[in-house]
Amino acid sequence: MSQVLPPNHPAVPTQKVGVLLLNLGTPDATDYWSVRRYLKEFLSDPRVIETNKFLWWPILNLVILSFRPQKSGHAYEQIWDKERNESPLRVITRAQTENLAQRLSGDGVMVEYAMRYGNPSTQSVLETMQKAGCQKILLVPLYPQYSATTTATANDKAFDALKTMRWQPAVRTAPAYFDDPAYIRALGDSIRDGVAKLDFEPDVVITSYHGMPVEYLQKGDPYHCQCFKTTRLVREYLGWEKDKLMVTFQSRFGPTEWLQPYTDKTLEALPGKGIKKVAILAPAFSADCIETLEEIAMGGKDTFIEAGGEKFAYIPCLNDSAGGMDFVETMVRRELSGWL
């Protein structure tokens, strides 16, 4: 190639195939301004908040961003990785990326990760991959169940970055994998192993999914149905009775009605029904984060015990576990078919 290029031609990198893992995001620190920047970007996304922007702007900027950063910052402090000075979400997503890169190293695939909100930004990482020679890139939103508020907005951000590139790489987007047999097997095995490690037998195991306004479901978002299907398939895989594994929805925000049953209200009510030993997990997340470690593992436990519960256990996300990464590798290799 160097013999046919004209003089002073820019260096042409070796062509590569790339894989970009996309996750939600995290503030860079727990202080007020770091959390505020993150929340502003997150809550300004019209995919997340569909309220008319002229009505939402003063509520967000004059009310929510004046008070919520302190509360959220305190919550982040409870789960912050002090050794690395990063949130668990970034630490785990990086570990997933490094693990997958090692698994695909023999195929010469470049594997990176980016965040929809915060750093590393999707645009900066895509630009780095393109300059490194990635002319084909697989986008992998790390959300098992599809939602416009997660999968779609992660892809949107990538497409926005592509619009600014003179030399665009070809891209593919990995689909949601809520009913992928390999995912169901990995999730089911993690539940079985998690329960086996406990010093008690749960009366019920709760699959707590991130919530969304009911209005989004009514507009056609498939997330609600996919959550229930994931739990049903896992229950069938485990061979459990129907009442052994239940679905709830967490993380409500604002005054509107959200998907039910609510996780916190369910945890409050169960002890009164004689269910005093529970295990809980969050299958909508590929990596543990503030919504799982602080809201569920800590806050959920307090709610349940205060209501009269006796035993409570949180089962971690798949994270970079062997089973979880086996699935990710299987899924990524399938979606790269024809490129490798």
Report in angstroms the alpha-carbon separations of 270 from 259, 276, 308.
Answer: 19, 7, 9
Give dist(CA 277, CA 47) in Å, integer: 37
Do 165 and 130 meet the contact criterion of CB atoms below 8 Å apart?
yes
| CB-based contact 70:29 (threshold 8 Å) | no
The DSSP annotation for 33-84 comes to HHHHHHHHHHHT-TTT--S-HHHHHHHIIIIIHHHHHHHHHHHHHHH-BTTT
Record the tokens describing residue 129, joined without a space. Answer: 């991959």
Structure tokens at 295: 């809201």
Two tokens at 212? 């969304």
Structure tokens at 159: 């497409």
The helix (H) or strand (E) run that includes residue 98 is: helix 88-103
Answer for the pair 22, 116: CB distance below 8 angstroms, yes or no.
yes
Question: CA of 328: how far to CAs of 130, 132, 292, in Å?
Answer: 23, 23, 20
**291 in a known ligand binding site:** yes
Q: Is 50 annotated as a binding residue?
A: no
Which residues have C-beta within 8 Å of that of residue 212, sequence separation ≥ 6? 147, 149, 221, 223, 224, 249, 258, 259
Amino acid at 249: F
* Contact predicate 132/110, CB 8 Å: yes
Tokens representing 4 are 């046919």
Peptide bond into 261 cis (omega under 30): yes
Binding-site residue ranges for Fe(2+): 210, 291
Binding-site residue ranges: 210, 291
